[in-house]
Amino acid sequence: MKMIIKGGTIVDGTDREAKPADLLIEDGRIVASALVIEEEADAVVDATGCYVMPGFIDLHVHLRDPGQTHKEDLLTGAKAAARGGVTTICAMPNTNPAVDTVEVLQDIYQRAEQAPVHVLQVSAITKGQGGQELVDMAAMKEGGAVAFSEDGKSVMDVTLYEEAMRQAAQLNVPVFAHCEDKALVGKGVLNEGVASERFGVPGISNAVEDIITARDIFLARESGARLHLCHCSTEASVWLVKMAKSMGIPVTAEVCPHHFILTDEDITEENANYKMNPPLRTKRDVKTLIEGLRNGTMDCISTDHAPHHAEEKAGGFEKAPFGIVGLETSASLTYTALVDTGVLSIQQMVQKMSTNPAKVLGVDDCKGYVQIGKDADLVIFDPNVEYVVDVEEFASKGKNTPFAGRKVKGRVRATIVDGRLVYEDTARTVKPQPEEENLFS
């Protein structure tokens, strides 16, 4: 199977300038790159006016499979990824049952063979995510787990967590940390301050996150584990990552689009699509997160794609579950908020969404770059199309996003996985409504 991608501008995952080139793909790999490639091929994909970039790698996705497939399942989640230009997803283990045995892991991998994108599974750290007893970490690695995480919560028993980190270090598998002090968060719902006061609900302070972030960084230093900090939302988390890196501690960090775009002041009505964990923070936090992304302190942009059913989300701020979907909006939101505004270069966007996640997973020998010999996992992205986020277009079962109805710029035109076209945009001529406010104006 031969494919040619014609007329695009390549952003290759390095700092090199974006350059026009055609790509030749054969048997799932990039085999040639030249200004013009004229050759017989089984398929020709038109990338005129578009960036051709390494497919995005989302380190933080909830597929709800097994156990909560009314919210999402493996295939709908993978289709949502393809729509978002995401060619590899890491699925978090807080399913039902939790991904804590090789049997659950293998069932997922078996079914993932049908998925249009690569699905990598993260193992729980403790059995049933109960915080009491470690999973068989060596067996989970053997079974194909790419990381260990208790996402949804933190392992609060510090000695147990230190032991988990030691084992993870020995196995050379990263730990993905959700940082939240269980006692301190209490029944917190929204950021402590403007939002919690406006709606009269218990607040979540920055300290809830910062204390565990600091703890985990020092555990990483003791154990030698590679620590990846999930969904950093606070100013201090950026400073802590900067400190850790300057001390040579093996830490990486991700930020989600909602945390670098929205603040607690944007919550003006009781709409639980603004409820996620960690919560939307203050302008000051957002400013520091963006600066951290810009200066390289913060490595990755991931989504924490957390689909929930509309009825569950209708339960009001206190009852509704935490979380929002993100797979189908993250590229457009990142482009609109950070690249179109000149904060990040297009090269940096690609590094945060593909190259650096590939490095976190240790798969940068074959993914995260558009280069000869690398896997043909690619996204073709049109930076000039403006459109309004329409949740009815989503492949995800989850429609829970605060960005519904917002105008954005930049849209995925096509997604290629292992040299196969897995998604092509059919609605790319959608015109924005003139009266719609630009998201960032």
List the catalytic residues: 304
* Pairing relationship of beta strands 19-26 and 29-34 according to DSSP bridges: antiparallel
120 vs 348: CA distance, rounded Å: 24
The listed partner (ligand DOR, Zn ion, none) that binds 223, CB under 5 to 8 Å by sort, is none
Among 393, 113, 409, 402, residue whose Cα is nearest residue 271: 402
Largest CA distance in the chain: 65
Residue of 193, 178, 179, 185 whose CA lies nearest to 267: 193
Smallest distance from ligand DOR to CB 211, Å: 16
Instruction: Return the one option of ligand DOR, Zn ion, none that residue 357 interacts with (CB less than 5 to 8 A, by type).
Output: none
Least CB distance to Zn ion at residue 152 (A): 6
DSSP assignment letter at 405: T
Nearest to 353 by CA among 45, 46, 55: 55
Asked whether the beta carbons of 228 and 177 are under 8 A apart, the reply is yes
Nearest to 293 by CA among 350, 255, 331: 255
| SS3 state at 438 | strand
Q: Which residue is nearest to Zn ion (CB)?
A: 178
With contacts defined by CB under 5 A, how many residues of the chain interact with Zn ion? Answer: 3
Q: Decide: 118 and 377 in contact? Cβ < 8 Å.
A: yes
Whole-number Cα distances in Å, 378 to 21, 170, 417: 14, 33, 7
Shortest Cβ 231–Zn ion spacing (Å): 6
- DSSP sequence for 247-272: TT--EEEEE-HHHHH--GGG--S--G
Determine if 308 is a binding residue for Zn ion (CB under 5 A): no
Query: Of 62 and 215, which has the nearer Cβ to ligand DOR?
Result: 62
Report the partner that residue 322 touches, choosing among ligand DOR, Zn ion, none (CB closer than 5 to 8 A by kind).
Answer: ligand DOR
Contact positions toward ligand DOR, by CB under 6 A? Answer: 62, 94, 151-152, 178, 276-277, 304, 306, 321-323
Near Zn ion by CB under 5 A, which window of 99-107, 114-122, 143-151, 369-377? 143-151
Q: Is the peptide bond before 278 cis (omega within 30 degrees of 0)?
A: yes
In angstroms, the CA 96 to CA 240 distance is 33
Residue with tokens 């957390």: 306
Distance CA(302)–CA(90), nearest Å, equals: 10
Which one of Zn ion, ligand DOR, none interacts with residue 323, CB within 5 to 8 A by kind? ligand DOR
Q: Does the protein bind Zn ion through residue 178 (CB under 5 A)? A: yes
- Residue whose CB is less far from Zn ion, 264 or 304: 304
Residue nearer to ligand DOR on the CB measure, 241 or 256 = 256
Distance CA 317, CA 311 (A): 13
Of the candidate residues 209, 285, 304, 425, the single one contacting Zn ion (CB under 5 A):
304
Phi, psi of 437 (to 5 degrees): -75, 140
Q: Which CB, 92 or 370, lies closer to ligand DOR?
A: 92
Interface with Zn ion includes 151 (CB under 5 A)? yes
Task: Determine whether 111 is exposed, middle or buried from the number of CB atoms within 10 Å of its CB (0-12, 13-18, 19+).
Answer: middle
Least distance in Å: CB of 267 to ligand DOR? 15
Backbone phi, psi, residue 168, to 5°: -60, -40
The stretch near Zn ion (CB under 5 A) out of 20-28, 118-126, 170-178, 199-207 is 170-178
Judged by beta carbon, residue 55 or residue 278, the one nearer ligand DOR is: 278
Binds 94: which of ligand DOR, Zn ion, none (CB < 5-8 Å by kind): ligand DOR
Query: Could you tell me the smallest distance in angstroms from the CB atom of residue 11 to ligand DOR?
Result: 30
Nearer to Zn ion among residue 212 and residue 350 (C-beta): 212
Q: How many Cβ atoms sit within 10 Å of the Cβ of residue 317?
A: 19
How near is the Cβ of 149 to ligand DOR at its closest, in Å?
Answer: 10
Residue whose Cβ sits closest to ligand DOR:
323
Type of residue numbered 180: E
Nearer CB in complex with ligand DOR: 60/409: 60
- Give the Cα separation of 402 and 275 in Å (integer): 9
For the bound state, the minimum distance from the C-beta of residue 231 to ligand DOR, rounded and expressed in Å, comes to 7
Q: Which does 276 bind (CB under 5 to 8 A by kind): ligand DOR, Zn ion, none?
A: ligand DOR
- Binding-site partner at residue 199 among Zn ion, ligand DOR, none, CB < 5 to 8 Å by type: none
Residue 114 and residue 131: Cα distance in Å, rounded? 33
**Residue 316 interacts with which of Zn ion, ligand DOR, none, CB < 5 to 8 Å by class:** none
Both tokens of 107, joined, read 């069932």
Q: Which is nearer to ligand DOR, 109 or 322 (CB)?
A: 322
Question: Minimal distance in Å, beta carbon 180 to ligand DOR?
Answer: 8
- Site for Zn ion, rule CB under 5 A: 151, 178, 304
